[in-house]
């Protein structure tokens, strides 16, 4: 017998509250805002070494639909400035600037990794060097994937024309861009959920359900948030010149919340499937633990727990 999906979703929603994920998302948004411009500097610099950096700007149109207008304009202006001043050569000063930008951009990734440990109830066991190295590798991987993704989008019109689809090039390129953005987010989230949390002897568990839910939720709330800011509430009216920066930070907050919701969903699914994973080097959440406490489990949950214990070698499930 299977645990009802509604029970897992309820546990996820309660865990988002008990694990203070709103506060964690706010911390992620702060560091992501600080890391945004350094990451953009790295993106344009690396992209410009292999492609024409001018081709980056048209690809920003895909972000217009999911970002607040003021935030999008701030991002677009910065990209235009970077593209206009790009030299195309790797000088010593540029290399130093890239290293500083890389270190700053990794701070956003580190904040997300810490938040993932809360979601998965893990104690961080990696050394400072390992933790920093993981954050840098993940940051560089995301930037490199973005570079390759932009390169593919730039080459799509030519590919469609070569296939005899020039009549539909604009429509196909637009749809491909949206699909590519979704695939990029889904892939990055899956990888992030897989290698981000602190190591556990039994591994991480399922990552695709949470990644898929987070990607869909992120696109949905980004579009709704953009519509809200553009048509109902303007941050520029309340914050003046800081309105664009506040809009960016709020967008990062709702984005981080979606990412952490996916992590909590994966953790709760894994918690029901294999309860023994969540003992030992885990940090347990009070509300979710109460919901899945032995006295509150249904017959289906108890049956699933017994099956999980049997598959794990007959280990009895410890009680809190």
SS3 207: coil
CA distance 229 to 69: 8
Q: What pLDDT was estimated at residue 167?
A: 66
pTM for the whole structure? 0.71
CB 94 within 8 A of CB 45: yes
Provide the number of structural domains found in the chain.
1
293 dihedral zone (left: phi>0; alpha: psi -120 to 50; beta): beta
Tell which residue, 73, 66, 76, has the closest CA to residue 223. 66
315 dihedral zone (left: phi>0; alpha: psi -120 to 50; beta): beta
Estimate to the nearest angstrom the gap between the alpha carbon of 300 and the chain centroid: 33
CA distance 142 to 158: 25
- Residue 50 in any domain: the answer is yes
- Residue 316 in any domain: the answer is no
Per-residue pLDDT of the chain (320 residues; tens, 9 = 90+): 466 777 788 888 887 777 678 888 888 888 888 777 777 777 777 777 666 666 666 766 667 767 777 777 777 787 777 777 665 555 666 677 677 777 777 887 888 888 888 888 888 888 888 888 888 888 888 877 777 766 666 666 666 666 666 666 666 666 777 777 788 889 889 988 988 888 776 666 778 899 999 999 988 888 888 777 777 666 777 777 777 788 888 888 988 899 999 988 988 888 777 655 544 444 444 444 444 444 444 333 343 344 444 444 444 444 43
Q: What pLDDT was estimated at residue 314?
A: 45
Q: What pLDDT was estimated at residue 73?
A: 77
CB 24 within 8 A of CB 293: no
- Residue 318 in any domain: the answer is no
- Residue 111 in any domain: the answer is yes
- Written as six digits, the tokens of 57 are 């700007």
CB 200 within 8 A of CB 274: no
Q: What pLDDT was estimated at residue 164?
A: 66
In terms of residue numbers, what domain contains 52?
A: 5-311
How many helices and strands in the chain, by DSSP H and E?
13, 0
- Residue 319 in any domain: the answer is no
List beta partners, residue 122: 282
Q: Angle between the 169-195 and 128-162 helix axes, to the nearest 10 degrees?
A: 160
Residues 6+ apart with CB under 8 A from 300: 1, 2, 3, 4
Q: What pLDDT was estimated at residue 302?
A: 40
CB neighbourhood size of 38 (10 A): 21
Computed on alpha carbons and rounded to an integer, the radius of gyration of the chain in Å comes to 22
Distances (CA, A) of 221 to 62, 257, 259: 15, 10, 12
CB 184 within 8 A of CB 150: no
Within 13 Å and on the Cβ side, how many CA atoms surround 139?
29
Tell which residue, 29, 25, 4, 19, has the closest CA to residue 264. 19
Distances (CA, A) of 260 to 114, 120, 232: 11, 10, 27
- Residue 320 in any domain: the answer is no
- Written as six digits, the tokens of 188 are 């990055």
Q: What pLDDT was estimated at residue 290?
A: 45
- Residue 39 in any domain: the answer is yes
Q: What pLDDT was estimated at residue 294?
A: 44
CA distance 90 to 306: 60
């Amino acid at each position: 017998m299977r645990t009802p999906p509604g029970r897992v979703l309820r546990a996820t929603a309660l865990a988002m509250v008990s694990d203070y994920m709103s506060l964690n998302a706010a911390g992620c948004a702060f560091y992501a805002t600080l890391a945004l411009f350094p990451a953009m500097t790295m993106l344009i610099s690396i992209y410009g070494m292999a492609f024409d950096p001018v081709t980056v700007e048209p690809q920003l149109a895909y972000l217009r639909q999911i970002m607040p207008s003021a935030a999008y304009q701030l991002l677009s202006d910065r990209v235009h400035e970077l593209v206009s001043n790009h030299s195309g050569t790797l000088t010593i000063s540029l290399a130093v600037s890239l290293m500083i930008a890389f270190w700053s951009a990794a701070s956003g990734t580190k904040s997300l990794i810490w938040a993932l440990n809360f979601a998965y109830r893990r104690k961080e066991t990696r050394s400072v060097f390992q933790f920093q190295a993981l954050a840098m590798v993940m940051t560089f991987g995301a930037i490199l994937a973005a570079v390759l993704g932009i390169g593919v989008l730039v080459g799509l019109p030519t590919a469609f024309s070569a296939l005899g689809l020039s009549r539909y090039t604009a429509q196909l390129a637009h749809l491909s861009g949206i699909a590519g953005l979704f695939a990029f987010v889904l892939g990055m989230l899956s990888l992030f959920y897989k290698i981000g949390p602190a190591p556990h002897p039994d591994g991480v568990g399922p990552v695709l359900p949470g990644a898929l839910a987070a990607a869909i939720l992120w696109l949905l709330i980004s579009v709704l948030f953009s519509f809200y800011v553009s048509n109902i509430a303007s941050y520029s009216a309340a914050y003046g010149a800081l309105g664009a920066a506040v809009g960016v930070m709020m967008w990062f907050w709702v984005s981080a919340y979606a990412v952490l919701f996916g992590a909590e969903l994966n953790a709760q699914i894994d918690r029901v499937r294999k309860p023994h994973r969540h003992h030992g080097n885990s940090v347990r959440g009070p509300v979710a633990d109460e919901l899945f406490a032995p006295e509150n489990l249904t017959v289906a949950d108890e049956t699933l727990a017994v099956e999980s214990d049997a598959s794990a070698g007959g280990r009895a499930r410890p009680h809190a």
